Chain A
Amino acid sequence: MTGMGWFQIFLYFVAVLALTKPMGLYMARVFQQETTFLDFLLRPVERLIYRLCAVDERQEMHWKLYGRAMLLFSGVSMLLLYFIERLQRWLPWNPEKLANVAPDLAWNTAASFTTNTNWQSYVPETTMSYFTQMAGLAYHNFVSAAVGIALAIALVRGIAERETKTIGNFWVDITRCLLWILFPVCLIASFVFVSQGVVQNLKPYVTARLIEPHAVDSQDADGRQVHKVIAEQRIAQGPVASQEAIKMAGTNGGGFFNANSAHPYENPTPFSNFFQMLLIFLIPSGLTSTLGRMTGSPRHGWAVWTAMALLFLAGVFAAYAAESRGNPLLRGVDRQASEQQAGGNMEGKEVRIGIANSALFTTVTTDASCGAVNNMHDSLTPLGGLVPLVNIMLGEIVFGGVGSGLYGILVFVVLSVFIAGLMVGRTPEYLGKKIEAYDVKMAVLSILVSSLMILIFAAIGVVTKSGTAGITNPGPHGFSQILYAYTSAAGNNGSAFAGINANTLWYNASMGVVMLAGRFLAVIPILAIAGNLASKKTVPESLGTFPMTGPLFSVLLVSVILIVGALTFFPALSLGPILEHLRMVSGKVF
């Protein structure tokens, strides 16, 4: 670990903190239909959309209706993407004449992008046409993010409103989210990326002559030795900058290229790297402030933010420390960070990005449900790899995915409040709303879904042939690969321990199911909580009410998150990364 490394991490943290309040207040204005400086431009567009779609913007929805609208919208969008993939050969903007996507992969990808996961079982530059990327994938990057934010806002409304049956209008929420938040942010971000050198074109791939042609010896299908000299390289092109913006700001994470944010066309400069990470936390962090604003308790919003920040810092520290120490088995090799070298564990990392920014990026992308990577998580040290795994297992609630981070942590808040309420001798209440059996039931259900998906599918994966066929390393690391894959899918993260070969019928099919369940089964109980809380009376605060602001609450929240997460996954983790770490320290790697 170096001072410069910590300074950059500190700088990043301060930037996130500084943007939280302005972003949060702006979003609160957008969703509370208050005036904003963009109204003159967007209001007419918004009205036009409602007229075309026959949406009554004043209609308020019951949580069940809200949920149905959300499911219907997501379902139709998913089908649309599936058919674009299956028919891309005959669709425009396919200069490379890429073939139609296979059914299982198309299903997996459709599920992946609809759920804001962006798990990619394929190499984008050789699988997806420009049209598929722009009309199919990027479209989902926008709308799945908007759906997540809308759900979070619906829950916040449930907490804030009193004695009402409705929690807002789904169509209005996603329209406003897209027009007022995602489009402007991404428009600005795209130009920033272009300014840094991210490409933006619809050209065919470019062929470049290598300065140093190099020879490759391999065996052909008949087992004969083949000697080949490679003198040319195909360089993929495309509308990257525009995709990059929403990939980060919508915490989607699906790279335009296979190398994702390690690719120089996606992430060319130190500033673009910093800016990418900032975009990931921009909306999720801001939403805590939106929560504070809409519930009329800004300090509660900050208490939630503080809990997230504590978990974030712990994760960064662990990842940075583990990666800086590197692999102890490289005895006799100088692993010290210096002017000349990054030091530590550089396997799977871009030299220009280095240890600190790789560790930070890894933590950020898994704290949020982003899943973009600028280094290969498969090559992290066992403890370094434990950090992203645990981040996702905890439910990606450290700022988290756009919207999903907030509603995820609010479920933990409900449970924390329940325990805390009991311990002060009152029927538990959350910002004046009594937390009763129904709310607890829904909160538990929501948490159960993702644990259930991760553990059951990982268990099937490790004992079936189709499961173990995908892993590329034996022993505990292979186990970690499978565990990570399903964790990433259930948490809608999309990053991978990239060693795993997941483009198989089993993984494509099963992970599609896990991703859909991880998103939609988990949010229905959350909408139910929103609806139920909205219908309740508010109990005024008294001396006997446990305060939901301040450090005590933040610490309690962190403890509940860690205890629930640790208790659920400790056995699995001890057979994966922990065992791998212990064996590495004693001299065996995988």
Chain B
Amino acid sequence: MSTHSHGKATSLTDRKILRTATIDSFGKLDPRLMIKNPVMFVVEVGAVLTLIVLVLNAIHHAHGFWFGLQITLWLWFTVLFANFAEAMAEGRGKAQAETLRKARAETEARRVCEDGSTEIVPSSALRAGDVVMVAAGEFIPGDGEVIEGVASVDESAITGESAPVIRESGGDRSAVTGGTRVLSDEIKVRVTSNPGETFLDRMISLVEGASRQKTPNEIALNILLAGLTIIFLLAVATLQPFAIYSGAPQNIFSLVSLLVCLIPTTIGGLLSAIGIAGMDRMIQRNVIAMSGRAVEASGDVDVLLLDKTGTITLGNRQATAFHPSPGITEAELANVAQLASFADETPEGRSIVVLAKEKYGLRGRELAPHNPIFIPFSAQTCMSGLDMDGREIRKGSPEAIRRHVVEKGRTVPAEMQEVVKLISNAGGTPLLVAQNRLVLGAIELTDVVKGGMRERFEHLRAMGIRTMMITGDNPLTAAAIARQAGVDDFLAEAKPEDKMALIKSEQTKGKLVAMTGDGTNDAPALAQADVGVAMNTGTQAAKEAGNMIDLDSNPTKLIEIVEIGKQLLITRGALTTFSVANDVAKYFAIIPAMFAGTFPLLDRLNIMGLRTPESAILSAVIFNALIIIALIPLALRGVRYRPLGAAALLRRNLVIYGLGGVIAPFLGIKLIDVLIGLLRLA
């Protein structure tokens, strides 16, 4: 997590992005591109129309040229500002794509021929199924799976993480990505993708927005915006006949201005930027979403399935307490337990040594003079320990130790049997320690819940999301951990197929399910889940099955993913509301300005007291254009999501963007009107 090479480095004010975006916003004026955005297309048509009339007026020396010119210019600015917003959003992705492209640079690959010899081919000639050898210092030529050997690999080009990772054949760490570099050893890799379809290629096109398709919700919103545009087009087009009847026909500049101010240009101009920025925010958190659809779906997630190990708990049990048998002091027990664990290199073993040290200051001792014989753990005995100075020290599972002491006719004290039960019930794992077949006491190992998990789950609950812990533990242990971590529910003694069944049953209830996974046996469940986040350290199969990949391989990232999804929708809703609410003020600026000449009485509707009709119309158009620029940061950053519960959240956003949207333009238009007066523009 320490060194994100991309994402954070590109801030909003990055000069290079600004420059490229400015140039791009002109290229996007191409009507063939504009028509994809009906709202802004109407603005462009309006701008073209006023431009033509302006030129004709200039030829005929009609009056009002200065006003017409300003209106025309600001209409073009409106279009350009919207294009600029989109270009800005794309710009950040493009900068990242460039970095990625460098990693994809053409390399040479050593392909293994059928006879076992190797030949040098360009990486672009590799096809799925080819086998290549990659040695230290070489780039891996394509996505694949390690089929022989172990190597440390530098994956910083993809993940931004500088520490090398181990890749080895078999198991869940066999996937390698093209463009990453082997640092040590040599591996044999079976290529799994064709050129142009590699992970890197997909990532490039995703961050660039090249493969961006409109998401379902975006399409729905676009339809609503197009509908509003048609209504306003109609309202303005029919206004002219009404005006003619009333003896106050209007010029084209006023009519187009009214139209452009009324149609939802604010959201229309920022809509695609919001979508791109949503993907971008995922990338900044080192999550690659395979589609915008996946980002959107993550906002709807109802149930979160989390693996216990590694996600909720630190993933290894640690010694947390010593429970001595009657007549034994805790220090004695700690001493023996530590001795028993010196040779135990497992995390549990080490944690016992550490606990004894922390609690009783028992430090490592020089054991060599005592000629200890270490007894390693074996699956048959389920014990480990050492023999030293005639002492036979063992630690192991209660059942194993029981058998061990019973051999000599001894028993486990009743008190200890009770302790063992208590530890189990509390979700811990008990170990018994025996010396010379005498039970000295028990060590309590507990699964340690990661710091801050409880708060995160509370956060999720407030968002309306149910969390569910999946674990292979027995129900008792699972319940204890679930209680400790604060998850809503758990599935104990879960097998991979149980996970799948659980997802399906939640989905038939109409719920959207999100999960993380990394192993090949997670792949079906990842594919079944509505949001499946694969860990980058995971297998190729898992990565292919999920619809997102977390480059940091951090399972709790799901929470952030959900927030980004919600933020995306909220930003759209908020700006739509704001955009439509703005219209009220614009009517009060433009309608009196249009008709006050013929009907001075209608000037009473000029509640802002705008100076002249020209200034009023111009102010509204300028406000309409500038608000797009002003809201670009919000569109790119996203409206902040607060886990408040739907009603409170709606009330809050309605007040800010609905009521605020009604009031803000009254102030803004008045201010611009005053400035226009000072500058004597109209």
Which of chain A's residues 397-435 have a Cβ closer than 8 Å to chain B?
Answer: 415, 418-427, 432, 435
In the complex, whether A571 has a CB less than 8 A from a CB of chain B is yes
Instruction: List, in ascending order, chain A residues with CB within 8 A of B219's CB.
Output: 437
In the complex, whether A518 has a CB less than 8 A from a CB of chain B is no
Q: Given the interface contacts A567-B583, A571-B591, A582-B601, does A455 sit within 8 Å of B650 by beta carbon?
A: no
A537 touching B510, Cβ below 8 Å = yes
Give the distance to chain A from B530, nearest Cβ to Cβ, in Å.
11
Which of chain B's residues 588-606 have a Cβ closer than 8 Å to chain A?
Answer: 591, 595, 599, 601-602, 604-605
In the complex, whether B236 has a CB less than 8 A from a CB of chain A is yes
Find B605's partner among A419, A448, A452, A574 (CB 8 Å cutoff).
A574
Instruction: List, in ascending order, chain A residues with CB within 8 A of B227's CB.
Output: 440-441, 444-445, 447-448
Give the distance in Å from the alpha carbon of A419 to the alpha carbon of B258 in the complex: 24
Q: Smallest CB-CB separation from A570: which chain B residue? A: B587
Q: Smallest CB-CB separation from B575: which chain A residue? A: A422
Interface-facing stretch out of A9-17, A63-71, A355-363, A541-549: A541-549
A586 touching B601, Cβ below 8 Å = yes
B220 touching A440, Cβ below 8 Å = yes
In the complex, whether B63 has a CB less than 8 A from a CB of chain A is no
In the complex, whether A556 has a CB less than 8 A from a CB of chain B is yes
A574 touching B591, Cβ below 8 Å = yes
In the complex, whether B235 has a CB less than 8 A from a CB of chain A is yes
A456 touching B242, Cβ below 8 Å = no
B570 touching A571, Cβ below 8 Å = no
User: B211-245 interface mask toward A, CB cutoff 8 Å, 1 = contact, 0 = none?
Assistant: 00000110111011011001110111111111111
Give the distance in Å from the alpha carbon of A459 to the alpha carbon of B224 in the complex: 25
Q: Smallest CB-CB separation from A555: which chain B residue? A: B654
In the complex, whether A291 has a CB less than 8 A from a CB of chain B is no
In the complex, whether B300 has a CB less than 8 A from a CB of chain A is yes
Find B510's partner among A447, A540, A569, A579 (CB 8 Å cutoff).
A540
Find A568's partner among B231, B509, B510 (CB 8 Å cutoff).
B231
Q: Given the interface contacts A452-B234, A571-B239, A575-B246, does A543 sit within 8 Å of B641 by beta carbon?
A: no
B461 touching A552, Cβ below 8 Å = no
In the complex, whether A55 has a CB less than 8 A from a CB of chain B is no
Find A540's partner among B243, B299, B511, B573 (CB 8 Å cutoff).
B511
A559 touching B658, Cβ below 8 Å = yes
Q: Smallest CB-CB separation from A564: which chain B residue? A: B231
Q: Given the interface contacts A426-B300, A582-B601, does A435 sit within 8 Å of B646 by beta carbon?
A: no
B242 touching A567, Cβ below 8 Å = no
Instruction: List, in ascending order, chain A residues with CB within 8 A of B641's CB.
Output: 425
A448 touching B300, Cβ below 8 Å = no
A556 touching B236, Cβ below 8 Å = no
Q: Given the interface contacts A544-B463, A567-B580, does A579 sit within 8 Å of B231 by beta carbon?
A: no
Instruction: List, in ascending order, chain B residues with CB within 8 A of A459's CB.
Output: 237-238, 240-242
Q: Smallest CB-CB separation from B247: which chain A residue? A: A475
A575 touching B595, Cβ below 8 Å = yes
Q: Smallest CB-CB separation from A541: which chain B residue? A: B464
In the complex, whether B159 has a CB less than 8 A from a CB of chain A is no
A544 touching B510, Cβ below 8 Å = no
B591 touching A570, Cβ below 8 Å = yes
Give the distance to chain B from A141, nearest Cβ to Cβ, in Å.
32
In the complex, whether A539 has a CB less than 8 A from a CB of chain B is yes
Give the distance to chain A from B255, nearest Cβ to Cβ, in Å.
10
A542 touching B464, Cβ below 8 Å = yes
Give the distance in Å from the alpha carbon of A422 to the alpha carbon of B570 in the complex: 5
B649 touching A424, Cβ below 8 Å = yes
Give the distance to chain A from B455, nearest Cβ to Cβ, in Å.
17
Instruction: List, in ascending order, chain B residues with CB within 8 A of A504's CB.
Output: none
Give the distance to chain B from A15, nearest Cβ to Cβ, in Å.
32
Give the distance to chain B from A307, nearest Cβ to Cβ, in Å.
15
Which of chain B's residues 559-598 have a Cβ closer than 8 Å to chain A?
Answer: 565-567, 569-570, 572-574, 576-577, 580-581, 583-584, 587, 591, 595
Q: Smallest CB-CB separation from A571: which chain B residue? A: B239
B646 touching A543, Cβ below 8 Å = yes
In the complex, whether A458 has a CB less than 8 A from a CB of chain B is yes
Q: Given the interface contacts A462-B245, A579-B602, does A567 sit within 8 Å of B235 by beta carbon?
A: yes
Q: Given the interface contacts A422-B572, A567-B262, A579-B599, does A427 sit within 8 Å of B296 by beta carbon?
A: yes
Which of chain A's residues 520-559 have a Cβ closer than 8 Å to chain B?
Answer: 537-540, 542-547, 550, 552, 556, 559
Size of interface on A: residues with Cβ below 8 Å to B: 65
Instruction: List, in ascending order, chain B residues with CB within 8 A of A569's CB.
Output: 235
Find A455's partner among B238, B245, B299 (CB 8 Å cutoff).
B238
Give the distance to chain A from B352, nearest Cβ to Cβ, in Å.
43
In the complex, whether A507 has a CB less than 8 A from a CB of chain B is no
A552 touching B241, Cβ below 8 Å = no
In the complex, whether A232 has a CB less than 8 A from a CB of chain B is no
Instruction: List, in ascending order, chain A residues with CB within 8 A of B238's CB.
Output: 455-456, 458-459, 572
Q: Given the interface contacts A425-B570, A568-B231, does A418 sit within 8 Å of B577 by beta carbon?
A: no
Instruction: List, in ascending order, chain B residues with CB within 8 A of A432's CB.
Output: 510
Interface size class on chain B is: 35 or more
In the complex, whether A229 has a CB less than 8 A from a CB of chain B is no
Q: Smallest CB-CB separation from A545: which chain B residue? A: B646
Find the residue from A424, A550, A556 having the highest chain B CB count within 10 A: A424
Give the distance to chain A from B673, nearest Cβ to Cβ, in Å.
20
Instruction: List, in ascending order, chain A residues with CB within 8 A of B32's CB.
Output: none
User: B451-493 interface mask toward A, CB cutoff 8 Å, 1 = contact, 0 = none?
Assistant: 0000000000111111000000000000000000000000000
Q: Smallest CB-CB separation from B222: which chain A residue? A: A437
Instruction: List, in ascending order, chain B residues with CB within 8 A of A445's CB.
Output: 227
Give the distance to chain A from B586, nearest Cβ to Cβ, in Å.
10
In the complex, whether A463 has a CB less than 8 A from a CB of chain B is yes
Q: Given the interface contacts A425-B565, A462-B241, does A437 sit within 8 Å of B223 by beta carbon?
A: yes
In the complex, whether A460 has a CB less than 8 A from a CB of chain B is yes
In the complex, whether A24 has a CB less than 8 A from a CB of chain B is no
Give the distance to chain B from A506, nearest Cβ to Cβ, in Å.
15
B601 touching A463, Cβ below 8 Å = no
Instruction: List, in ascending order, chain B residues with CB within 8 A of A415's CB.
Output: 224
Find B650's partner among A423, A435, A539 (CB 8 Å cutoff).
A423
Q: Smallest CB-CB separation from B572: which chain A residue? A: A422
Find B231's partner among A425, A439, A448 (CB 8 Å cutoff).
A448
Find A424's partner among B297, B511, B650 (CB 8 Å cutoff).
B650
Instruction: List, in ascending order, chain B residues with CB within 8 A of A556's CB.
Output: 650, 654
Give the distance in Å from the alpha carbon of A574 to the alpha carbon of B590 in the complex: 12
A543 touching B235, Cβ below 8 Å = no
A423 touching B235, Cβ below 8 Å = no
In the complex, whether B651 has a CB less than 8 A from a CB of chain A is yes
Find B220's partner among A418, A420, A539 (CB 8 Å cutoff).
A418
Q: Given the interface contacts A425-B570, A543-B462, A582-B602, does A441 sit within 8 Å of B223 by beta carbon?
A: yes
Give the distance in Å from the alpha carbon of A552 to the alpha carbon of B649 in the complex: 11
Q: Given the interface contacts A447-B227, A571-B591, does A547 sit within 8 Å of B646 by beta carbon?
A: yes
A440 touching B236, Cβ below 8 Å = no
In the complex, whether B120 has a CB less than 8 A from a CB of chain A is no
A437 touching B220, Cβ below 8 Å = yes
B239 touching A456, Cβ below 8 Å = no
Q: Smallest CB-CB separation from B568: which chain A residue? A: A425
Instruction: List, in ascending order, chain A residues with CB within 8 A of B242's CB.
Output: 458-459, 462, 479, 571-572, 575
Give the distance in Å from the alpha carbon of A456 to the alpha carbon of B237 in the complex: 9
Give the distance to chain A from B577, nearest Cβ to Cβ, in Å.
6
In the complex, whether A563 has a CB less than 8 A from a CB of chain B is yes
In the complex, whether A476 has a CB less than 8 A from a CB of chain B is yes
User: B648-665 interface mask toward A, CB cutoff 8 Å, 1 = contact, 0 = none?
Assistant: 011101100110000000
Q: Smallest CB-CB separation from A471: which chain B residue? A: B245
Instruction: List, in ascending order, chain B residues with CB within 8 A of A420's CB.
Output: 573, 650
Give the distance to chain A from B453, nearest Cβ to Cβ, in Å.
19
In the A-B complex, the 7 residue pairs with the smallest Cβ-Cβ separation, listed nearest first, are: A544-B464, A422-B573, A425-B566, A444-B227, A543-B464, A462-B245, A423-B573
Q: With A423-B577, A441-B223, A462-B245 given, name 10 new contacts (CB 8 A).
A: A423-B654, A425-B649, A441-B220, A462-B242, A543-B463, A544-B463, A544-B464, A556-B650, A574-B602, A579-B246
Question: What are 12 residue pairs bridging A and B, where the CB atoms are less than 8 Å apart in the complex?
Answer: A418-B221, A423-B577, A425-B570, A427-B216, A440-B221, A440-B227, A479-B242, A543-B463, A543-B464, A568-B232, A574-B605, A575-B595
